Amino acid sequence: MDVTEKIVRLEDYEQYIGSKTVDRIFEKAWKLQHKHVAHINSTYYGGGVAELLSSLTLLMNSVGIKTGWRIIQGSPDFFTLTKKIHNALQGDPINLSKRKKDLLEFVIKQNAIRNHLDHDMVIVHDPQPLFMINEYQKHGPWIWRCHVDMSHPNQELWDYFRPTVEKYDAVILSTKDYKQNLKTPQVFMMPAINPFSITNRNFSDEEVEARLKRHNIPTDLPLVVQISRFDRWKDPKGVIEAFKIARKEVDATLVLLGNVATDDPEGPEVYHSLLDNRDDRIIIMSVQDSSLVNALQRRATVVLQKSVREGFGLTVAEAMWKGNPVIGGNAGGIKYQIQDGVNGFLVNSVHEAADRIVQLIKNPKLRERMGQAAHESVREKFLLSRYLEQYLDLFNAFETVYLLHR
């Protein structure tokens, strides 16, 4: 098969969104055919941003917009600092010494030399490359796309960031809950999934079983699964506690599957802190395997995403797409995906999570009804075609402003 036949194009979404929506998106893209766009972030794998960009950049190209994807480089000290910054944007304390600021700004200067961002539009993702804008003479709009939960940012950090953020022409946040007091216009766009990716494409029962067998995951009991980066905000310890409580009433196997992104030095520490909990029915794995993610989400009886902070949580939409209701932490973007009691459950504690695990395992009719609602809600709201269209609307808005001021 020619490799180009494997690359997803907008037309492939017609089966889910209809021909009128596809035509409308193409019409919006037609006005932008002359544009050259660059996305820049801090890692090419691990976590939702890399997952999004790997699909979004291809989809933008498929509608005729020349779109590139750049990755910044940095030392371990740099990524240790940016992880602390990420946590502080979600409310943690931080000690912003002059040495740390100098390190951040120096590494960004190095990356600015390596990357020649003379594009018509530049989208900078998350805090790591934020200061790139200070190193360039802009040739068009620059957009800061922040994916984290910004509902309660650390004030010291935000005071340091705000002057740079306000140099951008727009800020994209996932929900209005994260809105900040800024001179820069703010736009709200919830992320979305690619239904054709290895993580989300249709798997046969045979493919699912083969993948689970390859990783020695037992399927003789119901599977309770959480898939996410090893990050304390995802509350993996809370998931283990909830499972242990639920196991007093139902027999099941817990699988915690995660990976460690290149820009997240805390990941290995969180992973190793969990390993003492392992037993025959508590499986904790650090594996980068999109097919395994797909298989687990399809085979699971219960899927959790028990985050206490969460910008959006793509793994929630992924599992829902596969017809699985999700037990999610009542936080951030999760509560915009899960309608409590309709297509999943929102929980605020370990004991609530345990109760919902038991309820879903014991009630297959409830799982089926909620799973159907979950799949439909993703089809309607959280496919990448919608996300692409929102970007096109933003790009066209800039075009209108530019024409008015020529």
Residues 320 and 345 grouped into a single domain: yes
Cα atoms in the Cβ-side hemisphere of radius 13 Å centred on 202: 1
Residue 154 located in a structural domain:
yes
Range(s) of the domain holding residue 326: 205-381
Helix (H), strand (E) at residue 335: helix 334-337
Residues 46 and 131 grouped into a single domain: yes
For residues 257 and 270, give the distance between their C-alpha atoms in angstroms, rounded to a whole number: 13
Quote the radius of gyration of the chain (alpha carbons, Å): 21
Residues 98 and 137 grouped into a single domain: yes
Residues 170 and 241 grouped into a single domain: no
Q: 286 φ, ψ to 5°?
A: -110, 95
Residue 143, SS3?
Answer: strand
For residues 315 and 304, give the distance between their C-alpha atoms in angstroms, rounded to a whole number: 9
Question: For 51-148, where are the E strands, in sequence order?
Answer: 66-71, 121-125, 142-145
Structure tokens at 234: 């995802």
Residues 257 and 300 grouped into a single domain: yes
Per residue of the chain (406 residues), give pLDDT as tens. Answer: 344 447 999 999 999 999 999 999 999 999 999 899 999 999 887 778 999 999 999 999 999 999 999 999 999 999 999 999 999 999 999 999 999 999 999 999 999 999 999 999 999 999 999 999 999 999 899 999 999 999 999 999 999 999 999 999 999 999 999 999 999 999 999 999 999 999 999 999 999 999 999 999 999 999 999 999 899 999 999 999 999 999 999 999 999 999 766 667 788 899 999 999 999 999 999 998 999 999 999 999 999 999 999 999 999 999 999 999 999 999 999 999 999 999 999 999 999 999 999 999 999 999 999 999 999 999 999 999 999 999 999 999 996 654 434 3
Residues 375 and 392 grouped into a single domain: no
Residues 285 and 241 grouped into a single domain: yes
Report which of 226, 282, 237 is spatially closest to residue 259, judged by C-alpha positions.
226
CATH of the domain at 246: 3.40.50.2000
The crossing angle, in degrees rounded to 10, of helices 314-321 and 290-299 is 60
